[in-house]
Amino acid sequence: MAKSESWEWLKAVAVALLLAVVIRYFFFAPIVVDGESMMPTLEHNDRMIVNKIGYNISEPDRFDIVVFHATHTKDYIKRVIGLPGDTIAYEDDVLYVNGEAVDEPYLDEYKANAGTGPFTSDFTLEETTGYETVPEGHMFVLGDNRQHSKDSRHIGMIPYDEVVGKANFVFWPVNDFRIVN
């Protein structure tokens, strides 16, 4: 009887471990924010959950916060600004998508404290990437901390197949538990 009970416990533990691995690998993954490029939205060392399955059923939306493979060893977390077919420009601290001014309320805190000069330097998509529009299957991303972010202005367009997933919420530190917008 003891042998049978031990076997049942062993099977239960094995199934639990298998489920944990499958969920971690295919559905959700923890990530640690490294650096200040997404401040004030995300702080250095925030721990987040990344939804890995959402983009299997749909494509990223403008202003989603995504995690993507920037190099073979490093993932970045940035905000989607441009989608396929979009033209992107910044002029006098205003984002223009397809020629229309777009509000970025998540930058209000930083812009208020930026001091003199623009928070985001003027640029056009063509000047920074060589493309007039965002190509099919790619996105243009920026960090919220525009003055201190290595993003599409420096590394170019991000292919959809390099996207790990959407950053859904911060779970650590506990007092900062929140859904990310």
Strands 94-97 and 100-102: antiparallel
Q: What is the pLDDT of residue 142?
A: 92
Q: What is the pLDDT of residue 116?
A: 66
Mean pLDDT of the 83-109 span: 89
Higher pLDDT pick, 155 / 119 = 155
State yes or no: pLDDT of 1 exceeds 60: no
Mean pLDDT of the 25-32 span: 68
> Considering the entire predicted model, what is its pTM?
0.79
Q: In degrees rounded to 5, what are phi and psi of residue 148?
A: -135, 55
Residues belonging to the active site: 37, 78
Percent pLDDT > 90 in the chain is 22
**Domains with residue ranges and CATH for the chain:** 2-173 (2.10.109.10)
